[in-house]
Structure 1
Amino acid sequence: MIDVKIARSDIERDDAFYVRTKVFVEEQGVPISLEIDEFDKSAKHFIVYDDEQPIGAGRIREIDTGIAKVERVCILQEYRGQHLGFLIMNALEKDAESSGMTKIVLNAQSYAIPFYEKLGYTVNSPEFMDADIPHRAMVKEINS
């Protein structure tokens, strides 16, 4: 059974780090020193589980009054194409909305822009490099 949970223990947070390490560090070549950062302690982490197996992750944090930033959204390669990205984004957005946020921002890898556009995000920056990967900033108004 596929389920999205908020990390409430160190073990669950480690499950999120496991998925992020597999996707961003091992698959995409992001240095671990950039992937696991100073915001991990304060961010709220979400994990997608297939029964007990962590297969997806993402985090959200408030970066300014009413503005949430979604980061580190990923799904293990063998689980892609099953709409699990939509599942975790829905959970992250519901959390932002219930926390009183009015806007969500994110930095999308450029190849993933169509995915986020389907969710109502719009590009609001030129392309830039982050960890040697092309990105664009995106935004979505919520609670409007």
Structure 2
Amino acid sequence: MSDPTLTVLPGDADLEPAFDVRRDVFVDEQGVDEAIEIDGKDPDATHVLAEVDGVPVATARLRVIDDGVGKVERVAVRASHRESGVGRRVMHRIDQLAIENGLDRLELHSQTRVEGFYQRLGYETVSGEFDEAGIPHVEMRKEL
């Protein structure tokens, strides 16, 4: 498997490759309603897309939600590329973008089954479990 190519996409770019990954993971695999998944906030975000041999395999988006605070959302890695390190690389690129944009803290809602992934990246759990789109989540934060 080739190393992934990471591309930063503004919210007004062609986001269909990122949407394809998100649909595959969230809608098809996890059963999230597409009306919830495609939430209208994509134009307000910066997106990272990872491709391997020209095929989109992972994505995430970053939105500024307050002074110095960014929210990481829609982190998705196709099943075929999990455990390959591509998710970690996407998240490191999100960190770089946040720092480049003067953010001091990142927040995200993690599915509880992948909470350990974010903890290994320096995030701390700051809430109890809650439901989001029918899936158990926790809120997590990371100081930059």
TM range, smaller chain: over 0.9
Give the Cα separation in 1 of the matches to 2:47 and 2:88.
16
Corresponding residue SS for 2:39: coil
- Within a 5 Å distance, the mapping from 1:12-91 to structure 2 comes to 13-91=15-93
2:142 corresponds to which residue? Answer: 140
Shift of 1:52: 1.3
2:5 corresponds to which residue? Answer: 3
Q: Deviations over 1:104-141 (max 9, x none)?
A: 00000001110000011000001000000000000000
Corresponding residue SS for 1:4: strand
Q: Deviations over 1:46-65 (max 9, x none)?
A: 10001211010100000000
TM-score, structure 1 normalization: 0.95
Corresponding residue SS for 2:44: coil
Q: What amino acid maps onto 1:108 in structure 2? A: S
| 1:97–1:10 distance in 2 versus 1, CA, 3 Å | closer
1:97 corresponds to which residue? Answer: 99
Q: What amino acid maps onto 1:22 in structure 2? A: D
Corresponding residue SS for 1:134: strand
Unaligned runs of 5+ in 2: none
Shift of 1:41: 1.4
In the alignment of these two chains, the number of paired residues is 141
Q: What amino acid maps onto 2:25 in structure 1? A: V
Task: State the identity %.
Answer: 36
User: How large is the Cα RMSD of the aligned pairs?
Assistant: 1.1
1:109 corresponds to which residue? Answer: 111
Q: Runs of 4 or more off by more than 6 Å in structure 1?
A: none
Corresponding residue SS for 1:101: coil
Unaligned runs of 5+ in 1: none
Shift of 1:74: 0.9
Q: What amino acid maps onto 2:52 in structure 1? A: D
Question: Which of 120, 123, 130 matches 2:122?
Answer: 120
